Amino acid sequence: MSLTVPRLRAVTTSPIACKICEEPSALYGVIDSNRSCLIGPQTSLSGVPIYYRRCEACGFLFTDAFDDWDINEFKAHIYNDEYIVFDPDYKNARPSGNANVVTGFWSAHKANMRVLDYGGGNDVLCATLRTNGFKEAVTYDPMVPEHSLPPAGKFDLVTCFETLEHLPDPVAGIGKIIEFVADPGAVFYSTLTQPDDFDSQGMSWWYVGPRNGHVSIFTKQALAAAWGKHGFKTASFNAGAHLAFRTLPENWGTVTQ
62 binds Zn ion (CB under 5 A): no
Q: Does 58 bind Zn ion (CB under 5 A)?
A: yes
- Looking only at the bridges linking them, the beta strands covering 136-140 and 114-118 are parallel
* Candidates 15-23, 85-93, 111-119, 187-195; binding stretch for Zn ion (CB under 5 A): 15-23
Give the count of residues interacting with Zn ion (CB under 5 A): 8
- Sign of the torsion formed by the C-alpha atoms of 98, 119, 150 and 252: positive
Note whether 160 and 234 are within 8 A (CB). Answer: no
Between CA 79 and CA 27 the distance in angstroms is 26
The reply to whether 61 sits near Zn ion by the rule CB under 5 A is no
Task: Tell whether residue 226 is a contact of Zn ion (CB under 5 A).
Answer: no
> Which H or E run includes 111?
none
* Burial of 135: CB neighbours in 10 Å, binned 0-12, 13-18, 19+: middle
Q: Fill in the per-residue mask, 27 to 56: x = in contact with Zn ion (CB under 5 A), - = not in contact.
A: ----------------------------x-
Count of alpha carbons within 13 angstroms of residue 76, beta-carbon side: 10
Closest distance of CB 28 from Zn ion, Å? 12
CB closer to Zn ion out of 55 and 224: 55
Q: CB nearer to Zn ion: give 186 or 222.
A: 222
Residue 24 or 47 with smaller CB distance to Zn ion: 24
Residue pair 83/238 in contact (Cβ under 8 Å)? The answer is: no
Residue 208 interacts with Zn ion (CB under 5 A): yes or no: no
Among 60, 62, 69, 86, binds Zn ion (CB under 5 A): 60
Distance in angstroms (rounded) separating the CA atoms of residues 171 and 153: 22
Name the site residues for Zn ion (rule: CB under 5 A).
18, 20-21, 23, 55, 57-58, 60
